[in-house]
Every structure is written in structure tokens, then in C-alpha cells.
Amino acid sequence: MFAKILKTLRKSNGTTQCELAEKLGVKQSTVSSWEIGRSRPTFEQVIEISNIFTCSTDYLLGKADNDNNYVYTDNKTMQNFYVDFAQLSKAEQTFLVKAVKAYVQSQK
């Protein structure tokens, strides 16, 4: 299931195997092996692929029927976000929280 989903995602995003391999720091032949089901990526690589294609890991692994465009980030990214967010004024923080909530509601 993963092999088919990866290939479909890659092609629908107009990404070549070489481009994806470069983003992941692997060889093109590695991506090719994943797409034909000969081998599988590591857990960390699955997370990175989900970030690249802005989809859930569940979707990549065939556990979700649709791609809900979930983005998973590592802890360091979230820590940096919180540090940046904390530097904003209370008014700016409130504005951003409201904007995110409004955006999420508009996507439903």
C-alpha cells in the first residue's frame, strides 16, 4: 500500500524520484525501491515524507482513506515555534490564535 501511495503522491505533486531523494538525503534508487515495494523507509523518513507532501503518516501507510493534509513536525520545530510565539505581544498572540481558529473552521 505504501509503495502505491508514495508513487501517486510524488507524481501528483510533480516531483521526480531524484528530487524526492535529494530532499530526503537518499539515493534515487532508494526511492525507486520504496515505490516498487522492494524496501521500506525508516520511521523518521516516513515522517519526513509526510512533511514534504503535507499528508498524515496514516495516509502514507494506508491507514486513512483520505489525505487530510496533516503536517507533522519534529519537536525542535515546535520548540522554535513556541519560542517565536512567546516573543510576540499578547495582542499579537491573540490575533494569531483567532486567525488559526478561523482558518481551521473555514476548512471544515
Q: Are residues 35 and 84 in the same domain?
A: no
Query: Is residue 13 located within the same domain as residue 43?
Result: yes
Cell representation of residue 66: 483520505
pLDDT, mean of residues 96-100: 90
**Same domain as 79, residue 46:** no
Closest CA to 35 of 68, 63, 9: 9
pLDDT for res 4: 93
Q: Both 47 and 92 in a single domain?
A: no
pLDDT digits (tens, 9 = 90+) for 60-88: 888 876 555 455 556 667 777 778 888 98
**Domain count within the chain:** 2
Domain that holds residue 13: 2-60
- Mean per-residue pLDDT for 15-32? 97
Angle at 48 between CA 16 and CA 9, to 5 degrees: 40
Quick one: 13 and 49 in the same domain? yes
Euclidean distance between CA atoms 29 and 20, whole angstroms = 11
Specify whether 56 is located in the same domain as 8: yes
27-69 pLDDT, tens per residue? 999 999 999 999 999 999 999 999 898 888 888 888 876 555 4
Q: What number of H helices and E strands is found in the chain?
A: 7, 0
The helix-helix angle for 28-35 and 2-12 (nearest 10°) equals 120
Q: How many CB atoms lie within 10 A of CB 6?
A: 22
* DSSP 8-state code for residue 41: -
Are 37 and 80 contained in the same domain? no
Task: Give yes or no: residues 37 and 87 share one domain.
Answer: no
